[in-house]
Chain A
Amino acid sequence: DARVTQTPRDKVTEMGQEVTMRCQPILGHNTVFWYRQTMMQGLELLAYFRNRAPLDDSGMPKDRFSAEMPDATLATLKIQPSEPRDSAVYFCASGLVIGSPDTQYFGPGTRLTVL
């Protein structure tokens, strides 16, 4: 049963610390998305990749957030330095685009708390 995995599941850190979240997409999928969920904003897209290349990261605060795909099996989202307003659940999703996009499958999320 293929699924997207995310680590860590929960992270509590102090303001100013670096946070790295990891995502393993479903094998064979060629698109990866990062979403953030907060009570105030709901679910919003931060960045997405196709064939490991970043296509759009306009949803991310550029000065502190960075997203990368070192290889096809790993996507990372890094926050440096972290701030209390970054507290949220971060979801990774993967999908397959052949011509047109297919369904996205979501990981369980990383719950980030910045004190």
Chain B
Amino acid sequence: AQSVTQLDSHVSVSEGTPVLLRCNYSSSYSPSLFWYVQHPNKGLQLLLKYTSAATLVKGINGFEAEFKKSETSFHLTKPSAHMSDAAEYFCVVRGGSQGNLIFGKGTKLSVKP
């Protein structure tokens, strides 16, 4: 069965400093992995996705994630945090052939001025 574990429930950074949100996955086959972002009282927006092409995936708003099979990780990074990045971030794995998604518990990112 597929699953994801987000290692931090809350991350706080200062504006202009790097962001690292950690995610480990478990999958019996080559997974499809995603990061979604949810701003307060908003829906879910796709940041980026990995589907067995390049292991370094670039997304919107300067975010990127690297798929590391040896470490079963798919961490999300950004070189320089912006105030508008404050949101909740979900690491997601595709659960089955029909495309249903399995969500991690989420990491809340706070950005201090």
Contacts and interface: CB of A to CB of B under 8 A. Distances in A.
Contact of A91 (B34, B43, B106): B43
Determine the interface band of chain B, counting residues with CB < 8 A from chain A.
20 to 34
Contacts of B58: none
Interface in B74-113: 90, 94-95, 97-106
Contacts of A104: 46, 99, 101
Contacts, number: 55
Interface stretch (A14-22, A40-48, A62-70): A40-48
Interface string A91-110: 10101010011111111110
Determine the interface band of chain A, counting residues with CB < 8 A from chain B.
20 to 34
Most buried by A among B45, B90, B97, B99: B99
A105 B46 contact: yes
